[in-house]
Amino acid sequence: MNPLQNTGSPELVSPFSGLGLHEQIVDAVSRAGYTTPTAVQAAAIPAALLGDDLMVSSATGSGKTASFVLPTLQRLVANPGRPAPGRGPRALFLSPTRELSLQITKACETYGRTLRWLRVASVVGGMPYGAQLRALRGSLDVLIATPGRLLDLLTSGRVTLASVETFVLDEADRMLDMGFIEDIEAIANAIPRSRQTLLFSATLGGKVGDLAGNLMRTPRRIEIATPPAATKAITQRLHWADGRVHKDKLLDRLLADPTIDQAVVFTSTQRDAERLAESLQADGHAVSALHGGMPQGLRSRTLSALRQRRLRVLVATDVAARGIDVPTITHVINYGLPIQVEDYVHRIGRTGRAGRSGLAVTLAEHAEVRTIRRIERFTDAKIPVSTLEGLEPRQTHRPGSGHGEERRRGHGYRPGGPAARKQGAAHRDARPHEGYRKNATRGRQGGN
Ligand code: AMP
């Protein structure tokens, strides 16, 4: 036998150690229950460990968080030594929303649980400054932040980024959509050029490509062609509804399904989320609303009620629901269609988490056929149409049809419909919460 051959049982050798990760980190990954790296992890981790700048296209639920957290931890382990208290972090992760930031913070704690010395902090909008400032004054390895709050602290001299070696932009496309471009560039200018920059985004072209050109040094592009494992586990269905009353009946029937463990029902506006949660509660459901207009304390309590399974149904808007990672969500129901088609993908990604299967049901009124076709073009797949016995729609649509439908039909006002979107733009959930800080001086017009 070749003396160099590994004679240990192959099951005992984690494929994560083959990626070049330190055994303490591999140990934490195994304790998290992961046996095999996902496609994005297998491609991005070794490349990041080489020190290259990376642009990575990755979908929701693909395991991308570990793709940047693990190599960052590895760098900290390989070159120990933390900046002095108040000298800022060695790694900075920027993410668009506080929910996502808190999710990443949790991931750092999970993947870094064997590194007792590790100090992680987050600074995000909408939370009190006190605890965040205290964390910044101490010694710090990793800082997770939303751009608005971080820039606030940077310009007021309460944080320095002079020690940052690894700079990660998560969901870069989303941050740009939210109007954070100038904040991101100002933040990047405060970080030494010698840094390693890792950018993750659903798309790599257009504005994201321009941003990468400004912030990165000849980045390597990593594009994951195969759909993420988690998305494959999501079954999609479409029900056509003749109108609001029909849609409510479909929702009632769907929520009576005993196979639902927990469900997220999406609406297009905050007002719809409030109203629908109230009416479902009146029907006896364990339900709560979650939207950007709610105070942060209440949002956090709602999310922990969901995690503790005190809620069966969450009625949410897009921004508020981003980053929710609750494996017991078995169903996503699109009661109001997303305003941006890519949010469809983010929405359905709330189910089918952590290798489980999930069902994503979309309820669409006939007048919304064009939005459905846009979603199908964006995801490059038809959403199979389905009916419920006794609740069949009067009208059906041929796949691919849709031209002129919205012009011919649906002129009346419906909450969440196209007319409402125009009238009620101030109530949309499509703006970043932190936008308020800037808008506040001009007078606030509503909420997200
Ligand atoms: P992310 O795309 O980073 O939000 O991860 C999506 C989900 O996949 C999270 O619930 C992770 O905990 C889980 N996950 C990440 N990496 C793996 C892996 N290698 N094996 C199994 N689950 C994973």
35 CA to middle of ligand 1, Å? 11
37-51, 72-86, 91-105, 418-432, range with the lowest pLDDT: 418-432
Label residue 10 by pLDDT band (50, 70, 90).
very low
Could you tell me which of 180, 213, 185, 216 has the C-alpha nearest to residue 198?
216
User: 10-224 and 233-441 share one CATH topology?
Assistant: yes
Q: For all residues of the chain together, what is the average pLDDT?
A: 82
**Beta strands 329-334; 220-223: pairing state:** unpaired
Within 6 A (CB) of ligand 1 lie 34, 36-38, 41, 61-66, 230, 325, 353-355
| Measured CA angle at 433 (ends 430, 438), to 5 deg | 110
pLDDT value of residue 409:
33
* Token representation of residue 283: 């029907």
Nearest-atom index, ligand 1, CA of 58: 2
From 19, 30, 38, the mutation candidate for ligand 1 (largest count of ligand atoms within 8 A of CB) is 38
Asked if the model's pLDDT at residue 298 lies above 80, the reply is yes
Q: What is the DSSP letter of 263?
A: E
d(CA 295, CA 432): 14
- Name the pLDDT band for 35 (thresholds 50, 70, 90): confident
66 or 343: whose pLDDT is higher? 66
The pLDDT score that the predictor gives to residue 317 is: 92
In this predicted model, what pLDDT tens digit does every residue of 81-125 receive, in sequence order?
888 888 899 999 999 988 889 989 999 999 999 999 999 999 998
For 407, residues 6+ apart whose C-beta sits below 8 A from its C-beta are: none
Report whether 215 contacts 188 (CB < 8 A).
yes
pLDDT at residue 232 in the model: 57
Query: Which class is 233-441 in CATH?
Result: alpha beta
Q: In sequence order, what are the residues at sequence separation of 6 or more whose Cβ sits closer than 8 angstroms to the Cβ of residue 76?
A: 90, 91, 115, 118, 141, 142
CA distance 20 to 71: 9
440/235: higher pLDDT: 235
The 10s digit of each residue's pLDDT in 134-145 is: 999 989 999 999
More reliable by pLDDT, 69 or 416: 69
Report pLDDT digits (tens) over 164-215. Answer: 999 999 999 889 888 899 999 999 999 999 999 999 998 888 889 999 999 9
Query: What is the pLDDT at residue 441?
Result: 28
**Nearest Cα residue to atom 16 of ligand 1:** 63
**Class in CATH terms, 10-224:** alpha beta
pLDDT in tens, 215-234: 999 999 998 754 444 445 78
Quick check: 53 pLDDT over 80? yes
| Distance of CA 65 from the midpoint of ligand 1 (Å) | 8
Q: Whose CA is nearest to atom 5 of ligand 1?
A: 63
How would DSSP label each residue in 131-142? HHHHHHHS--SE
Instruction: Report the alpha-carbon distance of residue 233 to residue 61 in Å, rounded.
Output: 11
* Residue 414 pLDDT greater than 50, yes or no: no
Which atom of ligand 1 is the closest one to the Cα of 103? Answer: 4
Cβ within 8 Å of residue 299, ≥6 positions away: 290, 320
- Residue 448's pLDDT band, with cuts at 50, 70 and 90, is very low
Q: Is the pLDDT of residue 349 over 90?
A: no
Pairwise pLDDT comparison (434 vs 150), residue with the higher score: 150
Torsion of CA 48, 52, 55, 56, to 10 degrees: -20
For residue 225, the model assigns a pLDDT of: 59
Distance in Å, CA 48 to ligand 1 centroid: 18
**152-161, 174-183, 344-353: which has the minimum mean pLDDT?**
344-353
Number of Cβ within 10 Å of residue 354's Cβ equals 15
Residue-level pLDDT at 410: 31
Q: Compute, in angstroms, the gap from residue 47 CA to the centroid of ligand 1.
A: 19
State the pLDDT at residue 188. 98
The atom number, within ligand 1, closest to the CA of 59 reads 2
Domain ranges, ordered by start, for the chain: 10-224, 233-441
* Residue with more model confidence, 349 or 394: 394
- The residue with tokens 């040094």 is 217
Q: Using 50, 70 and 90 to split pLDDT, how confident is the model at 433?
A: very low
Q: What letter does residue 314 receive in the DSSP assignment?
A: E
**Atom number in ligand 1 closest to CA 60:** 2
Cα separation, 387 vs 246, in Å, equals 12
| Ligand 1 mutation pick, 14, 19, 65, 224, max ligand atoms within 8 A of CB | 65
Per-residue pLDDT at 128: 86
% helix, strand, coil for the chain, step of 5:
40, 15, 45
368-409 per-position pLDDT tens digit: 999 999 888 877 788 999 999 999 999 877 665 544 333 333
Residue nearest to atom 19 of ligand 1 (CA): 37
From the DSSP assignment, how many helices (H) and strands (E) are in the chain?
19, 13
pTM for this prediction: 0.58
pLDDT value for 191: 97
Q: Which atom of ligand 1 sits closest to the CA of residue 37? A: 19
Residue 59 pLDDT > 80: no
CB 39 within 8 A of CB 62: yes
Alpha carbon of 63 to ligand 1 centroid (Å): 4
State what percent of residues in the chain have pLDDT above 90.
Answer: 54
- pLDDT tens figures, 240-274: 999 999 999 999 999 999 889 999 999 999 999 99
Q: What is the predicted pLDDT for the residue at 354?
A: 64
Residue 27 Cα to ligand 1 middle (Å):
16
